[in-house]
Amino acid sequence: MNPRRPGTYLLGGVRRLGSVTIFLVQLLIQCVPALARPRLLVLQIYNAGARSLIIIMLSGLFVGMVLGLQGYDLLRRFGSEEALGIAAALGLLRELAPVITALLFAGRAGTALTSEIGLMRATDQLTAMEIMAVDPLRYVAAPRFLGGVIAMPLLTAIFSVIGLYGAQLVGVQLMGVDRGVFWSQTQGAVGLHDVNEGLVKSIVFGLACSLIAVHEGYHAEPTAEGVGLATTRTVVASSVMTLLLDYVLTAAFL
């Protein structure tokens, strides 16, 4: 098969899509029995969520602070610095928190998932489980997938709050926007639907990123090179998928 021919690429893409879809269905079926082993799930929530906490909080703080600086500089031209809180809160809740959290999640937790499962595949651990009549989908893939899906909305919420605090830090403490106005305008302008938009986005991104990471690891070529390639593909596919889905979801919400 000549890999240069465009038809081959197309077919490869379609085949990958089909493989991911089948994998998703198998995974979802295994998610129910996986819930019966909360120990495994807690471990994965810890791996995907708790260990990403520092990087998420640090990123959130600085993203919020930059929003504060840039927003203040822009709004000052119109003499409405008080709107800084609204700009920061809406920007964070709707867009920045879900997208940046998903990108960081793909880089921090997604790669770990892929290489871990890929190495299990390469060292025949998955095969050994199958021989022992233990379904690796149920005991390896499903808890990791669920852990990512549960961790993502929580990480996004933490990112939003810390980011808002960062914007407040710059706007109120550094630039001298009135604190009461900052919060009251923010509270007046932010609705529950804005929070919902961020929440739905983060859940969808969590599903997509976890699915891609687990799938790439599970179907990685069982060699050192294959695991490396699978890890790269996880980051690329997760990032592109996140941004693409973000556009679709934003269009749906507006």
Partner 1 sequence: MQSNRTLEIGTGLFVLLGFAALLFLTTQLPASGVKFAGQKVGYHVSAEFDNIGDLKVGSPVTMSGVRVGEVSSIRFDSKVYKAVVNMRIDPQYNEIPEDSFASIQTEGLLGGKYVGISPGGLDSYLKDGSHIDQTQSAIVIESLVNKFFASFANSKGNVGGDSQGTDKPGKGPVKAEPKK
Nearer to partner 1, 81 or 116 (CB): 81
Q: Tell me how far apart the alpha carbons of residues 90 and 92 are, in angstroms, rounded to a whole number.
A: 5
* DSSP reduced 3-state for 103: helix
Nearer to partner 1, 78 or 247 (CB): 78
Least Å from the CB of residue 52 to partner 1: 9
Burial of 17 (0-12, 13-18, 19+ CB in 10 A): exposed
Nearer to partner 1, 24 or 190 (CB): 190
Q: Tell me how far apart the alpha carbons of residues 147 and 151 are, in angstroms, rounded to a whole number.
A: 6
Least Å from the CB of residue 35 to partner 1: 16
Q: Tell me how far apart the alpha carbons of residues 221 and 122 are, in angstroms, rounded to a whole number.
A: 7
Q: Tell me how far apart the alpha carbons of residues 117 and 86 are, in angstroms, rounded to a whole number.
A: 43
Least Å from the CB of residue 197 to partner 1: 11
Least Å from the CB of residue 79 to partner 1: 3
Binding site for partner 1 (CB under 8 A): 42-43, 45-46, 49-51, 53, 78-83, 89, 93, 151, 153-155, 157-158, 160-161, 164, 178-181, 183-188, 190-192, 194-195, 198-199
Nearer to partner 1, 37 or 51 (CB): 51
Full 3-state SS string of 225-244 = HHHHHHHHHHHHHHHHHHHH
Nearer to partner 1, 12 or 180 (CB): 180
Q: Tell me how far apart the alpha carbons of residues 36 and 87 are, in angstroms, rounded to a whole number.
A: 43
Least Å from the CB of residue 57 to partner 1: 9
**Which amino acid belongs to residue 51?**
R
The label of the residue with tokens 């379904």 reads 135
Nearer to partner 1, 155 or 230 (CB): 155
Which backbone phi and psi does 24 adopt, to 5 degrees?
A: -60, -45
Least Å from the CB of residue 182 to partner 1: 9
